[in-house]
Amino acid sequence: MFLVKVRLQLPAKVNWTLRVLGKRPDGFHELRSWFVAVDICDTLEAVPAECSSLSVTGPFGEGLNEVDENLVLKAERKWRKSGGDAPPISWMLEKNIPIGGGLGGGSSNAAGALWLLERSATCTVGNDKLVDLAASLGSDVPFFFSGQDAELRGGKGEELLKRVPSPDAWLVFVCPPVEVSTAKVYTNLGASGLIAENAPTAEVNRSIFPAVPGPNDLESTACDVYPQLAEISRKLAAVADSQDIPRFYLSGSGGCFFTVCSDAPTAHDLARVVSSLEADILVARTHSGAVLPLLSS
């Protein structure tokens, strides 16, 4: 029975690579993408209350209080509609993952809400239904709910194709104040010959985890749609050349760029180099093991 406060750390993710293979009959695009969780974490807390509510704090929490489209609240509504039962919940979300940055913060929050609801419920919905609920909330949510280490994902991002140990790496993130609309990026991707049959076989079937990130087939379009991203991208390319490091790539549809460093001192040194850019600079390590703790059966 849900009697006490429960708290959970919710990692972000990067799209280590992202290939767009073509447009599907349902209007979505077929993807192949390596997902890797990273230790930039939102914190989600659930407390039994007289009535349900949501409070959002943290450096990226502005404007998110009591918004019906918030994925925490959507996850709760769907869970209850599917037969889950728990007392009303006061949700407290600390947002440390940039919004609209391609790091999956909203999806991670939705997965965490499902996890907390199921763990603390008076009546659970069961693991099979939870997996279906996760997929219905967004294509990235299944990775956060049941993902582990580095995963090659297909479909819209909801299909697990392969899993390998996460790389042990430090990442530097450059996140300009641009909240990117994923739908807008895909809409502008356009009819640019992205047909699965024309995609190189090596890319379609690629299942070996690459040592360095990239490419990201959405980056060019995102930079066209959001000129501020294009400007940041040009500056980061110059930094990568001067520092002799792997280039910065966009994660997902953007707008956060990231690159990989071998250790913490190198990552923090690079963060200082790019600190003059008009962006939030974050340093994080890759996350190993399950993205969320495993629910007891």
User: Pick from 123, 120, 95: which is nearest to 109 by CA?
Assistant: 95
Pairing of strands 170-175, 280-285: antiparallel
Q: Sign of the CA dihedral 156, 39, 288, 243? A: positive
- How distant, in Å, are the alpha carbons of 2, 39, 57, 251 from that of 248? 44, 18, 29, 9
Is there a contact between 70 and 64 (Cβ–Cβ < 8 Å)? Answer: yes
Q: Tokens 């704090």 appear where?
A: 57
| Angle, CA of 194, 197 and 204, to the nearest 5° | 85
* DSSP 8-state secondary structure symbol assigned to residue 192: S
Catalytic residues: 13, 140
HSE-up (13 A, CA, CB side) for residue 133: 29
